[in-house]
């Protein structure tokens, strides 16, 4: 899906801020509400999987939360990418 998403962005001459090294984790995009800008959507699980190519799961999680999450982008570069976290329904409810 990443290649198709990036190809569509390029073909439409849209602008999107990318997370360096995480193209394989792109699952889509959303309109950013700014002319010619879209926000890339990254899978949290796939981002961790990319990092686990070179480190343990615990190290990958620590690295991602310290260096990548939430994505921090200077305002003049455009809206930041989005991170999609998925899980079982019970994981998101309290009580």
Largest CA distance in the chain: 47
Q: Determine the pLDDT at residue 17.
A: 94
Task: Write down the pTM of the prediction.
Answer: 0.85
**Which tens digit of pLDDT belongs to each residue from 4-34?**
999 999 999 999 999 999 999 999 999 988 8
pLDDT surpasses 60 at 49: yes
Per DSSP, the three-state class of 38 is strand
pLDDT surpasses 70 at 52: yes
Label the pairing between strands 26-31 and 38-43: antiparallel
């Amino acid at each position: 899906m990443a290649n198709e998403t990036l190809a569509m962005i390029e073909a439409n001459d849209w602008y999107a801020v990318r997370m360096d090294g995480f193209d394989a984790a792109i699952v889509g995009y959303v309109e950013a509400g700014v002319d010619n800008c879209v926000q890339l959507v990254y899978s949290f699980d796939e981002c961790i999987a990319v990092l686990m190519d070179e480190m343990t799961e615990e190290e990958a999680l620590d690295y991602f939360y310290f260096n990548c999450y939430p994505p921090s982008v200077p305002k003049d570069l455009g809206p930041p990418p989005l991170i999609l976290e998925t899980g079982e329904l019970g994981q998101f409810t309290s009580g």
